[in-house]
């Protein structure tokens, strides 16, 4: 009989084994034993996959019999579940280490991976579709177990940016094999490629079947400020913000959410550009269908302020129905600077319907129409010629606005401030907040305007007083008050000025009036013309000098020859005559 203890003991050297064989066995026995030992030694080489049988489990170690009374140990954690550790069950293991002291160390997981790789290589090629469970996340993507771990790059997870790819861990997914690297035992797969191919087929079917007016289900895949992209299965459709609801929508997220399934109506299909327009509000009738009957012109209705702009306020009358109260329709009398001075968002108010345009889906509303129009009786209350008390509220270049009563304003034009004095700005004679008396000149009830005058409180001096006092040819004294590029203004009396044109300053050509006079100078001037229609007086300085020279010349002539009737050369000069043909500019 063969000594079993000898066979079991693998610690002997070859010389010791040969010595035992020579002593105990015949040549036939020695040959048989050597064959058995050679097979066993070959089977226990590290890196070899061998068949084994589970014997027992001791703590975290699973004892596996490898044959010829040899046993190795596998960690229990290498089994997918405790139920797989069953005594007598045959498994394949990889010999990792053979040591006289620690025994034989085995790995079931590595053996499974090697067999799995061999199976995958044998049964699959690039372009094949495989299924697997996402096991964990690694740098750059995910690991998917399809029998062996394969790499799924993050860019190949989905056709859209997937966000946190960790949510796929534990899920079973289908992928397409992109690359097989047999040398490095590496496989790269793509879920995106498979989705794109499926969507291409779905897109072709969708474009062939879809028609305007159809109701289609889809998933909300993206929300932007201008609208929502809905996945119809193969192709996205755009649901514009204006087609989400008949009512006002500030942002699409108020109506829909990501990944929400919704039903939309197809309102537009362009097969050339592969664009589909969708509508949500079109599933229900338009609230504008019978708007004239619901909100007749002239009726009083209630609404809620939903938006305020510089030009007015939008009022929601019903779901999907809004009207505009223009800033000009907010008060009969009060000058409204901004609609927010009167209204606030969310405020419930009563308004009057002024106009309804069903085609343009516009309703004009008014607030001031709730009260009587005070301008309808303004003409009776303030007839032309009436003297009224008023307060200056604002000043402009062309005149002064005054308040006659709360809400009733009038305008005093700059030309109606004085009969005689010309003002560059009303601020030269009036101040904001000043209380004055003025005369009503005109009332325009339609345009809500009242024209007033300040100078009309006194008699027009240009009618009699000025023409009688200032006669052409007369020499008067005045003070220079203003210099311009065309001449000089001379104050003849309080609030009365005449114009001394630059051509009437001197016989010589001058470039600027200030070459001859300056502000504050008192000068003697000759009146050339008094124009009562345009209310202007033309003056001359050089003609006064002519008159003085003529007087001196006549005196000298009278002394030398008192009886002579000869006319001097000066008197025959048309430019020196005291006529009234000089320029009149003001």
Confidence at residue 251, expressed as pLDDT on a 0 to 100 scale? 92
* Distance between CA atoms of residues 375 and 453, nearest Å: 20
- Provide the token pair at 229: 């992209």
Q: Say what angle helices 27-43 and 14-24 make with each other, to 10 degrees.
A: 150
- Provide the token pair at 360: 């343009």
Task: Note whether 416 and 407 are within 8 A (CB).
Answer: no
In the block, tokens 């009332």 appear at 443
CATH superfamily of 465-572: Nucleic acid-binding proteins (2.40.50.140)
Q: CATH 2.40.50.140: which residues of the chain? A: 4-111, 124-195, 210-283, 291-354, 374-457, 465-572
- Provide the token pair at 246: 């008949």
CATH superfamily of 291-354: Nucleic acid-binding proteins (2.40.50.140)
Burial class (CB in 10 A: 0-12, 13-18, 19+), 574: exposed
The full length of the chain comes to 586
Task: Note whether 126 and 189 are within 8 A (CB).
Answer: no
* Distance between CA atoms of residues 260 and 255, nearest Å: 11
- Which residues 6+ apart lie within 8 Å of 505 measured at CB? 487, 488, 513, 516, 517, 541, 542
The DSSP code sequence of 394-463 is: EEETTEEEEEEETTEEEEEEGGGS-SS---SSGGGT--TT-EEEEEEEEEETTTTEEEEESGGGS--TTT
Query: Model-level pTM greater than 0.75?
Result: no
Element (DSSP H or E) covering residue 113: helix 108-123
- Give the 3-state secondary structure of residue 519: coil
Confidence at residue 577, expressed as pLDDT on a 0 to 100 scale? 43
* Distance between CA atoms of residues 537 and 467, nearest Å: 10
* Distance between CA atoms of residues 358 and 348, nearest Å: 24
Pairing of strands 487-493, 496-501: antiparallel
* Distance between CA atoms of residues 445 and 212, nearest Å: 54
* Distance between CA atoms of residues 420 and 583, nearest Å: 20
Please list the residues that pair with 377 across neighbouring strands: none
Confidence at residue 87, expressed as pLDDT on a 0 to 100 scale? 85
Confidence at residue 570, expressed as pLDDT on a 0 to 100 scale? 43
Confidence at residue 338, expressed as pLDDT on a 0 to 100 scale? 93
DSSP letter at 498 equals E
68: left (phi over 0), alpha (psi -120 to 50) or beta: left
Q: Look up the CATH architecture of domain 4-111.
A: Beta Barrel (2.40)
Task: Note whether 476 and 470 are within 8 A (CB).
Answer: yes
First to last CA, the chain: 151
Mean pLDDT, the chain cut into blocks of 10 residues (586 residues total): 41 52 53 49 70 85 79 84 84 79 78 80 82 90 87 87 85 90 83 87 87 92 92 90 87 91 92 91 87 91 93 91 92 85 93 92 92 79 90 92 86 87 86 93 86 86 77 88 89 84 86 87 89 84 76 62 46 44 42
CATH superfamily of 124-195: Nucleic acid-binding proteins (2.40.50.140)
- Provide the token pair at 269: 């299909």
Confidence at residue 306, expressed as pLDDT on a 0 to 100 scale? 92
- Provide the token pair at 346: 């969310």
Question: How far is the CA of 225 from the CAs of 157, 238, 239, 240, 241, in angstroms?
Answer: 27, 12, 11, 9, 8
Confidence at residue 101, expressed as pLDDT on a 0 to 100 scale? 66
CATH number of 374-457: 2.40.50.140
In the block, tokens 């003529």 appear at 550
DSSP letter at 568 equals P
CATH number of 210-283: 2.40.50.140
Element (DSSP H or E) covering residue 553: helix 542-560
Q: Considering just the CA atoms, what is the radius of gyration of the chain in Å?
A: 55
């Amino acid at each position: 009989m063969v000594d079993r203890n000898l066979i079991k003991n693998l610690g002997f050297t070859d010389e010791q084994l040969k010595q035992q064989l020579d002593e105990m066995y015949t040549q036939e026995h020695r040959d048989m034993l050597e064959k058995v030992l050679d097979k066993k030694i070959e089977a226990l080489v590290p890196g070899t996959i061998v068949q084994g049988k589970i014997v027992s489990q001791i703590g975290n170690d699973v004892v596996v019999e490898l044959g010829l009374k040899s046993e190795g140990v596998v960690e229990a954690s290498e089994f997918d579940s405790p139920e797989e550790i069953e005594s007598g069950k045959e498994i394949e293991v990889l010999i990792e280490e053979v040591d006289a002291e620690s025994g034989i160390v085995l790995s079931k997981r590595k053996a499974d991976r090697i067999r799995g790789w061999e199976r995958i290589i044998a049964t699959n090629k690039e372009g094949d579709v495989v299924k697997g469970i996402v096991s964990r996340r690694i740098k750059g993507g995910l690991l998917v177990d399809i029998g062996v771990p394969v790499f799924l790059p993050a860019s190949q997870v989905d056709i859209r940016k997937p966000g946190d790819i960790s949510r796929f861990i534990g899920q079973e997914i289908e992928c397409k094999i992109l690359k097989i690297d047999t040398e490095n035992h590496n496989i790269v797969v793509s879920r995106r490629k498979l989705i794109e191919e499926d969507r291409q087929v779905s897109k072709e079917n969708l474009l062939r079947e879809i028609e305007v007016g159809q109701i289609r289900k889809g998933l909300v895949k993206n929300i932007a400020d201008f609208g929502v992209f809905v996945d119809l299965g193969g192709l996205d459709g755009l649901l514009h913000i204006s087609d989400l609801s008949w009512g006002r929508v500030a942002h699409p997220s108020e109506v829909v959410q990501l990944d929400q399934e919704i039903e939309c109506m197809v309102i537009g299909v362009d097969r050339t550009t592969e664009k589909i327009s969708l509508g949500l509000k079109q599933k229900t009738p338009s609230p504008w269908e019978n708007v004239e009957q619901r909100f007749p012109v002239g009726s009083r209705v209630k609404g809620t302020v939903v938006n305020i702009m510089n030009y007015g306020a939008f009022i929601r009358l019903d779901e999907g129905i809004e009207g505009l109260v223009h800033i000009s329709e907010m008060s009969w009398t009060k000058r409204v600077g901004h609609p927010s001075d009167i209204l606030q968002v969310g405020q419930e108010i009563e308004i009057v319907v002024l106009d309804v345009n069903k085609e343009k889906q516009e309703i004009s509303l008014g607030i001031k129409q709730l009260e009587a129009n005070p301008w309808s009786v303004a003409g009776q209350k303030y007839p032309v010629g009436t003297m009224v008390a008023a307060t200056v509220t604002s000043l402009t270049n062309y005149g002064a606005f005054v308040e006659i009563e709360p809400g009733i304003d009038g305008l005093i034009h700059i030309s109606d401030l004085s009969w005689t004095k010309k003002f560059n700005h009303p601020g030269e004679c009036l101040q904001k907040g000043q209380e004055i008396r003025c005369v009503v000149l005109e009332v325009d009830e339609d345009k809500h305007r009242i024209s007033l005058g300040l100078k009309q409180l006194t008699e027009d001096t240009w009618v009699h007083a000025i023409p009688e006092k200032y006669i052409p040819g007369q020499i008067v004294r005045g003070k220079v008050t203003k210099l311009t590029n065309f001449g000089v203004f001379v104050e003849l009396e309080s609030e009365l000025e005449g114009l001394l044109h630059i051509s009437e300053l001197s016989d010589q050509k001058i470039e600027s009036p200030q070459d001859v006079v300056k502000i504050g100078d008192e000068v003697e001037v000759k009146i050339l013309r008094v124009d009562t229609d345009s209310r202007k007086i033309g003056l001359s300085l050089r003609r006064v000098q002519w008159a003085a020279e003529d007087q001196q010349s006549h005196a000298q002539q009278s002394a030398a020859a008192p009886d002579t009737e000869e006319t001097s050369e000066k008197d025959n000069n048309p430019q020196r005559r005291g006529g009234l043909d000089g320029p009149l500019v003001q």
